[in-house]
Amino acid sequence: MAMARTGYSMQVEGENVARAKANELSISPKHSIEIAKFIKGMKADVAIEYLEAVVAKKKAIPFRRFNMDVAHKKGLSGWDAGRYPVKASGEFIKLINQAKKNAEYAGLDPEKLVIVHMSANRGRAMRAIFPRAMGRATPKMRESVNVELIVKEVE
């Protein structure tokens, strides 16, 4: 029998810490990695606000690593290439809200939380098929992502 994948890649201990994790979300790994890098170190509320603006396509996420043929977007400081990963941003908003609830349950102030650790890795790839013309089909891999998040209360 396999153990559930519950470990975190970064051990942060203490009274003022809360965490949240999601396994095998069906979102783009590239988008997730870019978002994770971007919001690490932000205040939780600021990150949620920014990601909601991304979902509304008002603000862009800078694509620093996966930026082949990515067009420039206005409003990015210190970087040009960016996109609006709507689906992935929605999942990240949910995850940050979960971490806030966990923090509240642990007796922390949800207004003072800072994202100290945020990582997104490729999860399992499931086999799927792509229907084509003339009754044929092409195999494809459906990607998934494991995301983990640790927030800390900061004065």
Q: What is the per-residue pLDDT across 54-98, written as a single tens digit (0 to 9) for each? A: 999 999 999 999 999 999 999 999 999 999 999 999 999 999 999
Rounded percentage of the chain residues whose pLDDT exceeds 90: 87
- Cβ count near 49 (within 10 Å): 13
What mean pLDDT is predicted for residues 98-110?
94
**CA-CA distance, 141 to 121, in Å (whole number)?**
16
Among candidate residues 130, 133, 149, the one with its CA nearest the CA of residue 141: 130
Domain boundaries of the chain, sorted by first residue: 18-153
At 1 the pLDDT is 54
- Cβ count near 107 (within 10 Å): 10
- pLDDT category at 10 given cuts 50, 70, 90 is confident
Q: Is the pLDDT of residue 42 over 90?
A: yes
Residue 91 contacts residue 147 (beta carbons within 8 Å): yes
**CA-CA distance, 38 to 125, in Å (whole number)?**
25
- Cβ count near 122 (within 10 Å): 13
Looking at domain 18-153, its CATH architecture is Alpha-Beta Complex (3.90)
